[in-house]
Amino acid sequence: MSWIALRMLTGDRAKFLGIVMGLTFAAMLIAQQGSIFCGLMLRTCAQIEDITGADLWVMDPNVNFIDDVKPMVEANLYKVRGVEGVEWAVPLYKGLGRAKLTTWRWADPGSKVVESQRTKVQEDIIEQVVMLGLDDETLVGLPRKLWVGDFRDLWRPDAIIVDRVGLRKLFPGQGGDHSTDPAFLQSFLGRELEMNDRRAVIVGICEASRTFQTFPVVYTTYSRAKLFIPQERKPMTFVLAKAVAGVDPERVAQKIEAATSLKAKTSQQFLWMTISYYMKYTGIPINFGITVVLGFLVGTAIAGQTFYNFTLENLKQFGALKAMGLSNIRIVWMILLQAAVTGLLGFGLGTGAAAWFGSATRGGELAFFTPWQLLPITGAAIVLICILASILCVRRVVVLEPAIVFRG
């Protein structure tokens, strides 16, 4: 009977496509919007993931998320180092700085004046940057990937490392916004910026995860970062620490909190703390949730209505099959099989379209990340739509009297 069920389903192509399209739409919207939501949430804590080498983040007790910068006195670094179970602890500066880039352009673009007589004018670009000041000695917190340059060059005077994507903000209109061509990136080495009236020289181009604020990310040493920002009494924002091998970092974090009255979190805890903050205090989950729910409802409406109409139009055929001796259980099986096949197709096409969308926008501004958990969630939503659509149809067919076939 499976064969007959499938032939009935695919025989009416318009309705078949209508059901599949409805489910595809729902699956695509749920997967795509879910992925954008996850991508955005990941961006909120991108810098936590980017900092390598440390197990623990120690911060002011009132810090709620990574960008909630509340400076601490440097004495706290020594307190943390004194806690049992801490192998090492280093300072980290994280804050916003201003980078000024001076460029020259022709004063009279497009004029027919000969080049020797044309004048150049100075043009300053001021761009806000996320500044990360790493421990001078160990450089703990370096990015995972350096496209060009050498990390050790950070010890050179005025040295900074800039993230690849941030280049297009710092040097707008210079082409190759997303280029990973080493020769192209190499051309930025040695270029100078001005931060807090101090010279900064680019010695490397790294890969950093996109941040929620979208500002360029600048890495330098902790002591130099203090120079690149206006003078502050308490410059240290975080202490990065490593637990002694074999000791649970969570326990060490508890000890740090007890001993210093500071807040201490493992990287994972801090990551979820940041995500939780954005989930709780911004409208992002609600906005995406509404879109996902709308996708679910529209998908249910389209697929459910079309599936129900499909069943209604085949009611006489179902009646004839019942008259010929097909039991209700087998008819229910036929309907569920039809729902399952359309559901599977809709799920495959919808998530495929979402994956294509994610692939097509990779490297762009759009935050897109699909955790594996999103696929079963989308699948469950599609199963739910199919069940809702089937319930009405099953009920209608089960109560159908086979004698209907003898009515005109």
Contacting residues toward another protein, per CB under 8 A? 1, 3-4, 7-8, 10-12, 316-317, 319-327, 330, 401-403, 405-408
Nearest-angstrom CA–CA distance, 34 and 349: 16
- Structure token pair of residue 389: 């659509």
Task: Give the C-alpha separation, 323 to 68, whole Å.
Answer: 71
Run of H or E including 8: helix 2-11
Nearer to another protein, 326 or 335 (CB): 326
Q: How far is the CB of 176 from another protein (least distance, A)?
A: 56
Contact 190, 202 (CB under 8 A): yes
Closer to another protein by Cβ: residue 3 or 372: 3
Q: Which residues are paired to 159 by β-bridges?
A: 201
Can you tell me the distance from the alpha carbon of 174 to that of 321, in angstroms, rounded to the nearest whole number? 71
What are the residues whose beta carbons fall under 8 Å from the beta carbon of 315, sequence distance 6 or more?
A: 396, 397, 400, 404
In the complex, least distance from residue 339 CB atom to another protein, rounded to whole angstroms: 17
Smallest gap from Cβ 19 to another protein, in A, equals 15
Residue 213 sits at the vertex; the CA angle it makes with 203 and 99, to the nearest 5 degrees, is: 40
Is the CB of residue 232 less than 8 Å from the CB of residue 241?
Answer: no
CB of 342 to another protein, least distance (A): 15
Measured from the CB atom, the residue of 105 and 407 that comes closer to another protein is: 407
Which CB sits closer to another protein, 295 or 319?
319
Cα gap 393→285, rounded to integer Å: 34
In the complex, minimum distance from the CB of residue 326 to another protein, in angstroms, rounded to a whole number: 5
The CA-based dihedral angle spanning residues 214, 215, 217, 220, taken in that order and rounded to the nearest 10 degrees: -160
Comparison of 59 and 326: residue with beta carbon closer to another protein: 326
State the minimum distance, in angstroms, from the CB of residue 52 to another protein: 60
| Smallest separation, CB 345 to another protein (Å) | 17
Nearest to 22 by CA among 396, 392, 393, 381: 381
110/325 with CB nearer another protein: 325
Looking at residue 237, the DSSP 8-state letter turns out to be: -
CB nearer to another protein: give 10 or 196. Answer: 10
